Structure 1
Amino acid sequence: MENWIYAALPILGKVLVTVILIFSIIILITRISGLRTFAKMSSFDFASTIAIGSILAAVVMNTDQSILKGAVALGGIVAFQTIFSYVVRTSQSMQDLLTNDPMMLMYQGEILYENLDKTNVGEDDLIAKLREANVIHMHEVMAVVLESTGDMSVLHSSEDTTVNKKLLQDVVGIPEYATFNDAD
């Protein structure tokens, strides 16, 4: 009998074999489809990673689930992710429709409160990210961008400089007064 403290030895053995097999399947699928499988390049990639983890957990923890069913589900998610990323990469209109644009949250040491409101990001979250990026002075911050993945990128320098225009490609919410350099 299984309870919250004890599980029968055959059940534990099945869980162990399932872990080995399903992880082997994930490794095989990742080798075939590439490392992008677990990248957080877009919100869709992030959702795919969560779904893969959920399937993995369901197959391992539910002894009534078949490994084949889990493998097909994993393969289906990765195949759909591959098709989705191809469509987004090759069609600008689909990219505009299906992906979020990165948003400027801070520029040249100035917090862009209107953009914080648009993205539902609090000033405290922004400040925490600045601390995480080892920013010492606000004037060191050249730009903070909320990426399409939900991550924040902090571009900072102790030198008086401007951001390379290429680094802010496709970023929305850039102030009209922004200046860039084209060097590099």
Structure 2
Amino acid sequence: MFVSDTIVEVLLRGTVLTTLAMLWVVLLVRVNGLRSFSKMTNFDFVMTIAVGSLLANTSQSTSWESFFQSLIALASLFLVQYCSARLRKSSDTAESIMQNQPVILMLDGEILYPALEKTRVAESDLYAKLREANVLDEKDVRAVVLETTGDISVLHGSTCSKTILKGTKVVG
């Protein structure tokens, strides 16, 4: 691709192609916005993994054809994510098809065991998240929510507005 000496070629190709690909990803993020690598949806998670994989492929390309194919694939990923975000924003039906619903694991100090079973969250993991959130007494917990990203949110205090739990699902 660059020179005939194998060692110099490998070093040069790895450095130049990685730099060009990184600049391309930065440009795509600038065009697509900060949401490009957020963890808001399962689409975002897949996007992050796919970009990493394509970036690795790009930096290891052995021909200009495969390099540009990877760059086009990266741009396509960003386009698909942009379109899916717009579609989810404009259609509740699309949102429900593309996105899991957050599940309440604990409500008003009580563990919802059917929800733990359905979501495959161990009770020990739930208690670990309560400790992480500095919960001193489970009676102070208003809700624990398994979010669409896989994160667990712990809401504790004296009250919890019902609008905070909007869109969540109670299993059981």
| TM-score for both structures, normalised by structure 1 | 0.83
Distance 1:163 1:29 in 2: 39
RMSD: 1.8
Q: Alignment partner of 1:8: what SS?
A: helix
Asked if the contact 1:141/1:154 (under 8 Å) is kept, the reply is yes
Which segments of structure 1 move beyond 4 Å, counting only runs of 4 or more? none
Distance 1:29 1:172 in 2: 35
How far does residue 174 in structure 1 lie from its aligned partner after superposition? Answer: 7.1
| Segment drifting more, 61-70 vs 81-90 | 61-70
Q: Does 1:81 align with 2:78?
A: no
Alignment of 1:1-184 (within 5 A): 8-64=7-63, 66-157=66-157, 161-173=158-170
Distance 1:166 1:70 in 2: 43
Distance 2:150 2:63 in 1: 36
| Segment drifting more, 26-35 vs 148-157 | 148-157
Report how many aligned residue pairs link the two structures. 166
Segments of 5+ residues of structure 2 without an aligned counterpart are 1-5
Asked if the contact 2:114/2:171 (under 8 Å) is kept, the reply is no
1:136-167, Cα deviation, whole Å (9 max, x unpaired)? 2222221110111111111122xxx2211111
| TM-score for both structures, normalised by structure 2 | 0.89
1:43-86, Cα deviation, whole Å (9 max, x unpaired)? 11111111111111122234457332221111101100111111
Segments of 5+ residues of structure 1 without an aligned counterpart are 1-6, 176-184
Distance 1:72 1:23 in 2: 13
Distance 2:61 2:120 in 1: 37
